[in-house]
Amino acid sequence: MDEAVISSFDFHNYLSKTKGLVEDALNKALGPEEPALLRDSMRYSLLAGGKRLRPILCLASCELAGCDPEKAMPTAVALEMIHTMSLIHDDLPAMDNDDLRRGMPTNHKVYGDAIAILSGDALLTRAFEMVAIRSSNVSSEQLLKVIAELSIAAGAPGLVGGQVVDLESEGKEVDLETLEYIHLHKTGALLKACVKCGALIGGAEEDLLDALSIYANGIGLAFQIIDDILDVTSSSEVLGKTAGKDLIADKTTYPKLLGLKASRERADDLISKAKRALEPWKSTSAPLLALADYITNRDR
């Protein structure tokens, strides 16, 4: 794709088509299994909508590496399962204690705390099953690398670690370094895994993996800065989750530390840097470039 092709790239069409494929795969990933209560609770949250940004990033990275994105679909589904389980657990009374997610009552409000915890556990373990059992035409070596990436991103070095520091920091003065640590772990780690896993399945060379790592760091942090901004500037109706929550929980956020204008500028800088990393792949990176812009321009 040259400049003209990139500027004519129909992102709206790409997004709705790819989202449709992801929704389809998510729907098929959870069959008519037992016990019914657990299945219903898992399906309730997994199929509740959402932007599906993580699986789309995974598929787009696989495609950029020159491979049919369908090959990465089981991993893309796994990533959305891990993300969804983190949302279910994050909403629990012992954590963020929220009633609204993706425009619907949170999982524990419908199924109770115990089933919400267990359906999160089941989604997390199902994610690894998806990668190990449903992937085809992907070598065992690639699958092992993907499984390692997912484990690291979800566990103590990623989401769980970030969540712990986030919980510990509530009601305290937090500096920019700690805030960045929280964001890069709690949010950035999984977004980075999406990009990396897609590229690994696509058979990306080292130079592309390095560039995608820079891209992922930039979009990961920018995504959370925008999330902090939207928490202040948007409404629960638009967000589909409780707006103003950070203030209520006395959390340090980018707008609190830097103000709204400087936060927006920081997000824009990060997105520009992320996009610059993909310059050498200008002719084939239109979806990832457009996804980077989507992250800063989104309204929910």
Choice between 227 and 246, CB closer to ligand GRG: 227
Q: How far is CA 294 from the centre of its chain?
A: 13
Which residue sits closest to ligand GRG, CB atoms considered?
50
Distance spanning both ends of the chain, measured CA to CA: 30
Check residue 163 for interaction with ligand GRG (CB under 6 A).
yes
220: closest CA among 261, 154, 274, 150? 274
Helices (H), the chain: 3-7, 11-29, 36-46, 53-64, 73-90, 107-111, 113-129, 140-154, 159-169, 176-183, 189-201, 206-233, 236-239, 245-248, 254-258, 260-277, 286-297
- Angle, vertex CA 61, rays to CA 55 and CA 62, nearest 5: 90
Check residue 45 for interaction with ligand GRG (CB under 6 A).
no
Tell me if 82 sits within 8 A of 88, measured CB to CB: no
Considering only residues 170 to 189 of the shown chain, the ones binding ligand GRG according to CB under 6 A are 186-187
Choice between 64 and 226, CB closer to ligand GRG: 226
Check residue 117 for interaction with ligand GRG (CB under 6 A).
no
Binder of ligand GRG out of 42, 154, 195, 199 (CB under 6 A): 154
Binder of ligand GRG out of 39, 43, 102, 266 (CB under 6 A): 102
Tell me if 242 sits within 8 A of 98, measured CB to CB: yes
**Which two three-digit tokens encode residue 81?**
């399962």
287: closest CA among 198, 189, 183? 198
**Cα–Cα dist 57/52, whole Å:** 9
Choice between 63 and 91, CB closer to ligand GRG: 91
Choice between 100 and 199, CB closer to ligand GRG: 100
Stretch that binds ligand GRG, among 39-47, 55-63, 86-94, 271-279 (CB under 6 A): 86-94
Stretch that binds ligand GRG, among 59-67, 82-90, 246-254, 259-267 (CB under 6 A): 82-90
Q: Indicate the DSSP class of residue 33.
A: -
x/- binding map, residues 217-256, to ligand GRG, per CB under 6 A? -------x--x-----------------------------
Considering only residues 7 to 26 of the shown chain, the ones binding ligand GRG according to CB under 6 A are none
Binder of ligand GRG out of 82, 127, 138, 291 (CB under 6 A): 82
Q: What residues make contact with ligand GRG under the rule CB under 6 A?
A: 50-51, 53, 82-83, 85-87, 89-90, 95, 102, 124, 154, 159-160, 163, 186-187, 224, 227
